[in-house]
Amino acid sequence: MRKIAILADSTSDLSKELREEYGIDYCHMGVVVEDKEYVASLDYEEFTPSWIYGKMREGKRVKTVQVTVEVFNEKFEEYLKQDMDIVYVACSSALSGSCNTGRIIAEEMMAKYPGSKIACVDALSSTMNQGLVVLLAAALRNEGKSVEEIVAACEAERKNYHMIAGVETLTYLKNAGRVSAGKAFFGNLLGMKPILISNLKGENYAIKKVRGRKASIEEMANMCAAEILDSENQVVYITHSDCEEDAKLLGSLIEEKIKVKGIVYGPIGPIVGSSVGPGAIAINFKGTPVNI
């Protein structure tokens, strides 16, 4: 059986440690700040989280660039030249065009390298929720599963992975086209904090609105406690955009409610961060099937 490369992209928010442990690579996206384009590195190699979120707090607009044709060609060919097949677990196609672009390039590459296999899986999510689907793919690859078995398992299991997120302000979601200008204005005026989930279409869906930051964090912990399965054997991942103190508060509230194997904290990457803005927090875990 040919070896299999597992690829993610810049929205998966997988740490370097996890990528090295599981043997995962990724196709990078890009961000544009003040007319200069940077690589959207999962390791923040060209800038720090504080720098980019600081720019956003100053009112600077951050634009995103999906995985380009050139990056796909380079990354796919890197592994095809080693006689390896590829499973690419992509950001939700409802949020990014990278999955569809990847499928087009995959067809071209498989024609160029007869006998090779490239599968593009829509994770129907982003941030570490997408990352959890990538980790599943890598674990199955490491168990010796085939491309087809990995794809089938990821597509069956992705609905069981939860992303529950809270934001500090609606302004950035408005700028990214996620909420209307009117809703953002009155929501901010009233201090309303939406709680978002990844729904079955792969959209960021505002499932609740809570008045006040602390109340929204408490409600996120309640939702996690109600929906997580086998919590004692699970690591819960909490990602945040430059608000570590609030992320740690969320983690402590979760630990008060349920027993978990562990909580791992990490930054929200620049791609997702440009949509949700500084002050966003997301919990990522496996639980009851998402049905929204």
Highest-confidence segment of 50-54, 85-89, 94-98, 182-186? 85-89
At CB < 8 A and 24+ separation, what contacts does 104-110 make? 105/69, 105/72, 105/73, 105/76, 106/76, 109/73, 109/76, 109/77, 109/80
Contact yes or no for 277/54 (Cβ under 8 A):
no
**For range 182-210, the mean pLDDT:** 72
Crossing angle of helices 147-157 and 127-142, rounded to 10°: 140
Residue with tokens 């590459």: 109
Predicted pLDDT of residue 191: 65
Instruction: Report the number of secondary-structure helices (H) and strands (E) in the chain.
Output: 11, 13
Confidence band, pLDDT 50/70/90 cuts, at residue 181: very low
pLDDT value at 178 more than 50: no
The pTM is what? 0.93
Q: How much is the mean pLDDT over the chain?
A: 92
Lowest mean pLDDT among 122-136, 162-176, 199-213, 271-285: 162-176
Predicted pLDDT of residue 275: 83
pLDDT value at 173 more than 70: no
Lowest mean pLDDT among 120-124, 200-204, 243-247: 200-204
Query: φ and ψ at 271, to 5 degrees?
Result: -70, -55
